[in-house]
Amino acid sequence: MKITEIREKDDTALNKELVELRKQMFTLRTQAVTQKLEDPSKLGKLRRDVARVLTVLNERKRKAIAAK
């Protein structure tokens, strides 16, 4: 997921996306322990996507606080 796609979404959509990404990460981590992953690099990609979503949410929160 690109940062421009993330910035276009509103906060509620980003929170839903964050929950979905974390669920995917959990399933991949459990698969990594129990069996061999088809694409091990997907774990790192998901982790970076979660970080991007959290970064955008924190930026928006800081802007809202600074605007007050």
Domain spans, the chain: 3-67
pTM: 0.89
Eight-class DSSP state of 40: T
Where does 3-67 sit in CATH, by number? Answer: 1.10.287.310
Measured in degrees and rounded to the nearest 5, phi and psi for residue 5 equal -65, -40
CA dist 26 to 2, 23, 66, Å?
21, 5, 35
CB 46 within 8 A of CB 24: yes
Mean pLDDT in residue range 50-59: 97
Give me the pLDDT at residue 68, please: 83
Give me the pLDDT at residue 1, please: 82
